[in-house]
Amino acid sequence: MNLIPKRKCIFLDRDGVLNEDLNDYLYKLEDLIIPEGVGEALQALKKAGYLLIVITNQAGIAKGMYDAEAVYAIHERIQEVSGHVMDDLYFSPHHPDFSGQSLSRKPDSLLLEKAIAKYNIDPLQSWMIGDRSRDMEAGKKVGAKTIHILPSPEGHSGDFFAKNLREASELILSKS
């Protein structure tokens, strides 16, 4: 019997990790700011053999502010900057006050579980990188290690802390 080997993955939140988080919702390309080092960090993680999968809450869809096409357009621009190294995008278009509860919305882990099943991912070899406690909760629910992106370590709820994606990628690569 030939078993397919499990794969390792970096699950990435979008806003605050791959791009600067706005006070409001990001859905216009002209508002997208990709921090320095994001493309290089993604390329280094890809070169190290990780799948790169974006897992993002997009409540602005439920609120009627934008549609899925806006989410795909932002994702495509980040792909261009990173050399098209990201493997997939999963997003939750829900908000409890507008569309009801959904297990796809972080801190729940349904989107991570779907990716794990689709790509035969080993969560124990994988990481969740995000800038919110809900990202850390979702990653921990599936057994992934977590890195909380914050300006300083105070209040971080991840297994590890980093100031940005570049630092997070260096941390992961030093532990691989």
Tell me, what's the pLDDT at 102?
93
Amino acid 90 reads: Y
| Given 15, 21, 31, 108, the catalytic residue | 15
Tell me, what's the pLDDT at 4?
81
The DSSP string of 48-108 is TT-EEEEEEE-HHHHTTS--HHHHHHHHHHHHHHHTS---EEEEE---TTTT---TTSTTS
Long-range pairs for 25-30 at CB < 8 Å and ≥24 separation?
25/59, 25/60, 25/63, 25/65, 25/66, 26/74, 27/60, 27/65, 27/66, 27/70, 27/71, 27/74, 28/70, 29/73, 29/74, 29/77
pTM assigned to the model: 0.95
Tell me, what's the pLDDT at 2?
61
Is 13 a known active-site residue?
yes
What are the pLDDT digits (tens) for 129-167?
Answer: 999 999 999 999 999 999 999 999 999 999 999 999 999
User: Domains of the chain (ranges plus CATH)?
Assistant: 12-175 (3.40.50.1000)
What are the pLDDT digits (tens) for 160-170?
Answer: 999 999 999 99
Assign 6 to helix, strand or coil: coil
d(CA 41, CA 12): 12
Q: Is 173 exposed, middle or buried (0-12, 13-18, 19+ CB in 10 A)?
A: middle
* Spans of the chain, pLDDT less than 50: none
Is 21 a known active-site residue?
no
| Given 13, 21, 24, 97, the catalytic residue | 13
